[in-house]
Amino acid sequence: MNLHGEALKVGFDGNFKLEFHGAKVTLDAGLLAYRDLDEALGLFALESRVLYETRTGRNIQHDMQALLRQSVYSRLGGYEDVNDADRLSIDPAIIRAITGRLKEHKNGASANTMGRFDTEMLGKEENLRGLEKINGGWVQKGMKRTAHRRIILDMDSSESPVHGEQKVSAYNGHFGSTCYHPLFCFNQFGDCEGAMLWPGNVHSAERWKELLELIVGRYEGNKVRNYFRADAAFPKLENAD
- The whole-number pLDDT of residue 111 equals 92
Asked whether 157 and 234 are in contact (CB, 8 A), the reply is no
* Distances from the Cα of 149 to the Cα of 152, 188, 198, 216, 227, angstroms: 10, 12, 33, 15, 11
pLDDT tens digits along 28-46: 778 888 888 888 888 888 8
pLDDT tens digits along 147-173: 999 999 999 999 999 988 888 899 999
Helix pair 64-76, 31-41: axis angle to 10 deg: 130
Report for 7-21, 37-51, 60-74: range of highest mean pLDDT: 60-74
pLDDT at 240 over 60: no
Instruction: State the amino acid at position 115 in one-letter form.
Output: G
Please give the model's pTM, rounded to 2 decimal places: 0.76
Three-class SS state of 177: strand
Instruction: State the amino acid at position 3 in one-letter form.
Output: L
Task: Indicate the burial class of 181 (C-beta count within 10 angstroms; 0-12, 13-18, 19 or more).
Answer: buried
Cβ count within 10 A of residue 87: 13
Q: What's the mean pLDDT when you consider all of the chain? A: 85
